[in-house]
Amino acid sequence: MGPLESPESAGRFLRMVLDAMPAAVFVVDDDVRVLDANAAGRELLRGGLAVEALPRRAGELLHCLHAAETPEGCGRAPTCRECVVRAAVGAAVSGQRSLRRRCRMTVSRDDVPHEAFFLISASPLRHAGRDLGLLVLEDISEFMELRRIVPICAKCKKVRNDGQYWQSVEHFMARHLDVDFSHSYCPDCLQNALEELDNVRLSGTG
């Protein structure tokens, strides 16, 4: 018998795979109650959530400020009707997939409101006769903060870093976002470059 042929071995292997994933993954019901989470998900929810604390609604676990607006909690405030997470989970429970929808959430950290940004994905999941959802949260708060505060020169397009040094956009993006650039000419710049070469040739023969 192979190592994954027994249900117990397959279950342990699946848990290892989920816990190895860097994104936060949750099994949720139609009211966005978290029934289970992988290691990254437990870390995201209050810095390490015990499975015994479940089920609770995601907004309450993430400390969404709207979850505290009404005594009934997450999903019951008027603003919750526009919640991207609830919409994605609702679609998943009804059999549709939602992929990487951006969501801005105001959460409380140490009793101080903060903006958090996530990419939300949700897929249908049926288990033990129940229609559930597999919810994935990718935290892009750091990227969104960079995008909002990066100072860039209006002329040369260099970027100023935290040390007050100016560096090329390519260097900044490679360092902070692990993004590499390839270089080419846009049509307008190519035309200008060709005209400059023609002018150099003409001035050299005049």
Type of residue at 129: G
Q: Which domains does the chain have, with CATH numbers?
A: 7-140 (3.30.450.20), 150-205 (no CATH)
Give tens-digit pLDDT for 11-68. Answer: 888 889 999 999 999 999 999 999 999 999 988 876 555 555 668 898 888 888 888 8
Give tens-digit pLDDT for 85-115. Answer: 999 999 999 999 999 998 888 887 777 888 8
> Which has the closest alpha carbon to 149: 140, 162, 163?
162
**How many whole angstroms separate alpha carbon 68 and alpha carbon 108?**
10
Give tens-digit pLDDT for 145-165. Answer: 666 667 777 777 777 766 667
Backbone angles phi, psi at 173, to 5 degrees: -65, -40
Q: In a 10 Å sphere around its CB, with 0-12 CB exposed, 13-18 middle and 19+ buried, how is residue 75 labelled?
A: buried
Helix (H) or strand (E) holding 169: helix 169-177
- Residues making up the chain, counted from first to last: 206
**Site of tokens 């650039």:** 181
pLDDT of residue 1: 44
**How many whole angstroms separate alpha carbon 118 and alpha carbon 85?**
10
Helix (H) or strand (E) holding 104: strand 98-109
- Report the pLDDT averaged over residues 70-94: 92
